[in-house]
Amino acid sequence: MFSRYLTKFSIYFILIILLFYSNILYANCINFIPYYYTGKSHKIIENKEFCVKNFSEKNIVYKSDEFGARIISNYPNKPKKVYFGDSQLLGLDVNAKEHNFFSDNFSISLHATPNNGPYEVLNLIIERNLSPEEVYITFNFSRDIFRINQNWNPSKYKIFSKKELEEIIVSRFQYNLTLMKKYFLDRKFTFKAPKVSKLRQNFFDKEKLTFINNLNTYFSILKLIKKSDNKFGGYYIYPPFWAFDVKGRKITALDNSVKIDYKIIVCSQVKNLKPLFSKIYVMDLDNKNLLKSNLTKDLRHIKTKDVHFKDIDKFCA
C-alpha cells in the first residue's frame, strides 16, 4: 500500500514539475482556448487579450470584445461583419491579420469557440440583435452535421465557468494545473484527437435523409428569427476533415464516399439557403490545396491558409 501511495505521489510530483516547466517555456501563453458556456452558447472570455500556444507552431494572439467574440479587425467607423461558428472559424493556427476573413474595409469579429453548434449560433444571433446584413454564418460539416440534431447537448462540453476563467487566465501555471486536475477527475475531459475512422463511421451509420431533415428544420427556425426582409450577409460551409486519411498530419487520401454524400447533403439545402443569404459559399473536397495540406496540430481542423470557398451554384452544378 505504501508503494502505491509513493507511486501516486511520484506521478503528481512529475506533473507539477512539468507544469512549472511549461509555465517558464510558454510564459506569455496559455495552452487552451479560454471559453465558457453561458447556458445558451459558448463564448470566449470577454474583453481580454491573450496568447495561445497549443494548436499551432507559433504563438497565436487573441483579442476578445465585450460580447465574447474574437476581434479580427476593428474599425469603428467602417461597416460591421459578425461571423458565427465554431473553432474552425476561430482560426486556431493564425493571428488576426492572417485570417482569411480579415479585412481593411470592415470591422470583423468572430463568435467562434469549440463546441459551438448551429443552435448555439441561433442563440447568439438572437442575443446580438444585429441587422441581418451584418450576420455571416459558418457551418463546419465535420462536427455541425452531428450537432444539428436537436438532441445535441452543448452543456456536456463545459470545461470552465466564467468565474474560473477570470481567476486562472492571469496565471499560466494555475491554468495548466486546473486543466490537469480536470483531466484526471473528469472522465469526459480529454486531450486526445478523435479517430478519423470513428467519426467517418458515425456519419455513415446514419441515413443521409436524417441529416437533410435536420438541416431543413434548422433553416426553418433560422428563417423565423430573421428580423426583416433583408437577407443575412453570407453562409460558408467548411468540409469534414475526417473525409481525409492522414499520416501524421499530412493529408494522404480522400474518401470518395464522403465526397459524394457531402455534396448531396449540401446541395439539398440550396432551396433553404438562397432565400436567407445574399452569398453562399462551399469548400470543395477536391480542392488541390487541401490535397497538399496538413491538418492543424490537434488533427481536428483544416489549416486556415487552405480555406478556399466557391459559390454554391458552381459547387452543385
Q: What pLDDT digit, counting tens, does each position of 40-69 carry?
A: 999 999 999 999 987 788 899 999 999 999
Give which of 192, 206, 224, 201 is closest to 148, Cα–Cα: 206
Which helix (DSSP H) or strand (DSSP E) does residue 71 occupy? strand 70-73
Average pLDDT over the chain, rounded to an integer = 88
Selection from 178-182, 202-206, 225-229, 288-292 with the highest mean pLDDT: 202-206
Give which of 236, 232, 223 is closest to 81, Cα–Cα: 232
- pTM here is 0.88
Give which of 152, 148, 139, 178 is closest to 34, Cα–Cα: 178
Give which of 37, 46, 95 is closest to 69, Cα–Cα: 46
pLDDT at 190: 53
Burial of 224 (0-12, 13-18, 19+ CB in 10 A): exposed
114-169 pLDDT, tens digit per residue, is: 999 999 999 999 999 999 999 999 999 999 999 999 888 888 877 788 988 887 87
pLDDT at residue 91 greater than cutoff 90: yes
pLDDT at 173: 76
Instruction: Indicate the range of 93-97, 232-236, 259-263, 287-291 predicted with least confidence.
Output: 287-291
Determine the Cα–Cα distance for residues 218 and 99; give it in Å rounded to an integer: 28
pLDDT at residue 26 greater than cutoff 60: no
> Collapsing DSSP states into helix, strand and coil, what is residue 244?
strand
CATH number of 31-158+192-316: 3.40.50
Average confidence (pLDDT) over 276-296: 92
